[in-house]
Amino acid sequence: MLKHLFWVGLGGIVGTFLRACCSFLFVTPWGTLFVNLAGCFFLALLFSWNQTKKVIPTVYHDALGAGVMGSLTTFSTFITEIFLLPFMIEKILYLMASVIGGITFAYIGYWLGRGGFRKEVINR
């Protein structure tokens, strides 16, 4: 159990570092949108790829999922930034872009993790 917690914690450090880098590279709230969409994509990719291939041990799967992706993406920052946007139309557009983009990127990541284009070409 301690080994498991160590790897999840280490993943959290990596995710926090990546989140801080994105905060410096992008103007708020777009940095949050970027990391949340990237997190949706990579978490779904990781989940579906490991579900299909079963090649990542649980401890490393959790380190990448709960650790890296959990600390990279932040729902509280997302909500705060919606609150801070000055105009209602900006709030609505940012919310829609985040939700629709998140679902879309998660679907693409899941699809790629299950074989993506390669699977369709092989089945034809």
How far is Cα 89 from Cα 86, in angstroms, rounded to an integer?
9
pLDDT of residue 53: 82
pTM recorded for the entire structure: 0.72
pLDDT of residue 120: 56
pLDDT of residue 97: 96
How far is Cα 39 from Cα 72, in angstroms, rounded to an integer?
7
pLDDT of residue 122: 56
> Cis before residue 57, ω within 30 degrees of 0?
no
What is the number of other CB atoms lying within 10 angstroms of the CB of residue 42?
20
How far is Cα 65 from Cα 8, in angstroms, rounded to an integer?
8
Annotated binding residues for Na(+), written as ranges, equal 70, 73
How far is Cα 96 from Cα 101, in angstroms, rounded to an integer?
8
Look up residue 97 and give its amino acid. Answer: A
pLDDT of residue 121: 54
Instruction: Say what the alpha-carbon torsion angle 13, 81, 90, 104 is, to the nearest 10 degrees.
Output: 30
DSSP string, 60-118: HHHIIIIIIIHHH--HHHHHHHHHH-SSHHHHHHHHHHHHHHHHHHHHHHHHHHTTHHH
Annotated binding residues, written as ranges, equal 70, 73
pLDDT of residue 124: 55
Averaged pLDDT in 10-residue chunks for the chain of 124 residues: 94 94 85 88 88 86 90 82 91 95 94 81 56
